[in-house]
Structure 1
Amino acid sequence: MTKQEFADKLRRHDAWLPGKRLKLDFGNDGVLLIDGIEERIGEEDSPAETSISISWADWLALSDGELDPMRAYMSGRLRVRGDLAAAMELGSLFKRLKS
């Protein structure tokens, strides 16, 4: 899956957290802004209350269940700035999208 395909899937399913703005920062692979305030998914690097930094390769491994989220967080491969609870909510939302 490409970042664009992932963004399109989020858009199709209105996959945001109401009232919350989160940013997925994939480093050199760009960002996704999951904006539950304006109810949209964007690819611009805008401010967000919660920012999750992870490489695209690690994101794919996490999405496929090959990388444990807690291990990724503890090892620094996944970093969260802001509301950790919102980041965890986002993880639950993504799990529901997979099923």
Structure 2
Amino acid sequence: MSDATIDKLKDRFDAEAASGMQEVFQFHFNDAGDYYLVVDDGTLEVHEGEHDDPSVSLSMSSDTLKGVMSGEINGMTAFMTGKLKATGNVMLATQLSHLFPGH
């Protein structure tokens, strides 16, 4: 995962959509390492590594994440076809496109 992709996440973050939300999204990228996003009532922090107790853990390639974020890949389709694996509160994964809407 390049810093540019992380920066795009920060740029696209919709604080209003995250109002009242307190969740940790763990990402395991098979081509780019581990990152987690801490969403806390309209704020976003991005960290490298693994969180002790994430709300949801998502495993995928960084390209799959880019596709889901851009809307080119349907998250449920990615999940059903095995491109995306999720554990924990899987329904949170469906919130990603709302939290990081495309421009």
Q: Shorter-chain TM-score category?
A: 0.7 to 0.9
Q: 2: CA distance between counterparts of 1:32 and 1:20?
A: 14
1:43-62 to 2 correspondence within 5 Å? 43-47=48-52, 48-62=54-68
Would you say 1:82 and 2:85 are equivalent positions? no
72-81 vs 83-92, greater mean Cα deviation: 83-92
User: Following the alignment from structure 1 to structure 2, what is the Cα–Cα distance between the partners of residues 94 and 13?
Assistant: 5
Q: Matched residue pairs, number?
A: 96
SS of 2:100 mapped into structure 1 = helix
% identical equivalent positions: 22
Secondary structure of the structure 1 residue equivalent to 2:49: coil
Cα 1:71–1:12 shift into 2, 3 Å: closer
Asked if 1:42 corresponds to 2:25, the answer is: no
Higher relative contact order structure (alpha carbons within 8 Å, sequence separation ≥ 6): 2
Superposed CA offset, 1:14-56 (max 9, x none)? 5674311111211231122111248411112223121111111
Secondary structure (helix, strand or coil) at the match of 2:31 reads helix
The one-character-per-residue Cα deviations of 1:50-72 (angstroms, maximum 9, x if unpaired) are 11111112223333443332221
Q: What's the TM-score, normalizing by structure 1?
A: 0.74
Structure that is richer in strand per residue: 2
Large movers: runs of 4+ above 6 Å: none
